[in-house]
């Protein structure tokens, strides 16, 4: 909710709702998402930045419906948890 709901409501006001601004906002949001989830190790940065990009794009494609974004995030966390439990 913080990364998509609050960030995008400030970053993409009506005057900045153009597709170029949306792409820039998704990239910035992805980097912030990764920085909060990862320490100094660089390898997880790739995964978390990619996931942040997927979540940001999902949020915009779902017409800023945070519920779809929450479901995608929960599904991803569940899949990672299941894979970790099987190994």
CA–CA dist 6, 33 (Å, integer): 13
Q: What is the pLDDT along the chain (87 residues), one digit of tens a residue?
A: 676 777 777 777 766 677 888 888 899 989 988 988 887 778 889 999 999 999 989 988 998 888 998 999 999 999 999 999 998
CA–CA dist 66, 80 (Å, integer): 21
And the tokens for 79? 């899949």
Q: Are 49 and 35 in contact (CB under 8 A)?
A: no
């Amino acid at each position: 909710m913080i990364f998509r709901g609050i960030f995008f409501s400030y970053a993409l006001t009506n005057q900045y709702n153009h597709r170029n601004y949306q792409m820039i906002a998704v990239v910035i949001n992805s980097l912030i998402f990764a920085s909060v989830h990862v320490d100094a190790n660089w390898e997880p940065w790739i995964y978390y930045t990619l996931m942040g990009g997927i979540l940001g794009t999902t949020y915009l494609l779902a017409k800023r419906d945070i519920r779809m974004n929450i479901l995608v995030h929960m599904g991803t966390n569940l899949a990672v948890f299941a894979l970790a439990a099987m190994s």
